[in-house]
Amino acid sequence: MDSIDKTALTKLIREKAPELGFDICGFARPRILDKNKSILREWCEAGMNANMSYLVRNTEKRADPAKHMPDVQSIIVFGMSYNSANLQKNEGVPIISRYAYGKRYQDIITKRLNDLLLFIKDFNNKIEGKIFVDSNPFFEKAWAVEAGLGWQGKHSIIINKEIGSFFFIGVLMLNFDLDYDKPEGIDHCGTCRLCIDRCPTGAINANRTIDARKCISNLTIENRDPVAVELGPKLEKRVFGCDICQEVCPWNRKAACNNHPEYSIPDEVANMSPAEWLSLTEEQFIRLFKDSAISRVKYANLKHNISIAMKS
């Protein structure tokens, strides 16, 4: 069938998204994101990208969807919540970021967007698509705003009124015109500044960017060097990533827990005691975290983070 029109296909995609496990989706018209490009350049020039030198490269490609897909006509952005009611259970344990509780989201979302693309091609086999899940130089967060999924909070993360900010973003570009959503035009942060005031390292800038040199998430995940011992007390026991700015956000307090099983914490990890974390062996590390984002860091670095965080 090659005759489906844009309104019918937009509706079909909206209906199919929840079946594939997506909690939200929106449709944006491609354009060059000049403002985001300038902000990124200024941020890198100020050194705030820390050790992430790859962010200096490919700025043009990051801002221009056509550099990824010359005939792109639509950018569809999907959000999949990882907000779960099941958290680490014991007091005083090293804390891991919630996004790393379950399986690697890149693999899960890429597979589902591939399934969606096959579903779309059943209606018109001339449609081509390209999938982005944290895999290419691309402004995923900015496209989430363009597609009406939410607004960029003062902590730099996208917030959706219904599901808050604990969600993963996946993008599907199509060479087919669709009905577009309007970007969220209102800053629902208002006068709130809880995230800024609560950040233990003062990493949140006034322009909704983060100074990666100070941010615990960067220091405990992206940074190849061990976290400086003197930073131990500031970690507030966060040993892989940090969710403090999201946890204090009023929009997350009222957000529903979606409890997708693939993103839930295994019981064995949820129940670990402080002593079990301190005696974590390399064999346990590999077994417990082989499917999680935690496998991105070396065992020795996680052990170091646990050691300095638990001394404080």
Site residues for ligand SF4 per CB under 6 A: 153-155, 189, 192-195, 199, 201, 203-204, 210, 215-217, 242, 244-245, 248-251
Active site residue 181: no
Burial class (CB in 10 A: 0-12, 13-18, 19+), 44: middle
Cα separation, 200 vs 120, in Å, equals 46
Could you tell me how far CA 301 lies from the centroid of its own chain?
Answer: 22
Instruction: Write the CB contacts of 12 (distance below 8 Å, at least 6 apart in sequence).
Output: 4, 119, 120, 123
Phi, psi of 72 (to 5 degrees): -60, 135
CA distance 84 to 98: 8
Query: Which residue's C-beta sits nearest to ligand SF4?
Result: 153
Extended beta strands in the chain, E state: 24-28, 74-81, 95-96, 129-132, 151-152, 158-159, 167-174, 238-240
120 or 195: CB nearest ligand SF4 = 195
Q: Give the shortest CB-60-to-ligand SF4 separation in angstroms.
A: 28
Catalytic one of 2, 5, 134, 187 = 134
Q: Give me the least distance between CB of 153 and ligand SF4, in Å please.
A: 3
Tracing tokens 């929840």 back to the chain, one arrives at: 18
Q: In the bound complex, what is the minimum distance in angstroms from residue 115's beta carbon to ligand SF4?
A: 32
Closest distance between ligand SF4 and the C-beta of residue 236, in Å? 9
| Closer CB to ligand SF4, 63 or 189, in the complex | 189
214 token code pair: 């100070």
Structure tokens at 273: 């005691």
CA angle 270, 194, 201 (to 5 degrees): 70
Q: Which is nearer to ligand SF4, 24 or 127 (CB)?
A: 24
Nearer to ligand SF4, 120 or 216 (CB): 216
Decide whether 99 or 285 has the Cβ nearer to ligand SF4: 99
Measured CA to CA, the distance from residue 139 to residue 144 in angstroms comes to 9
List, by residue number, the catalytic residues. 134
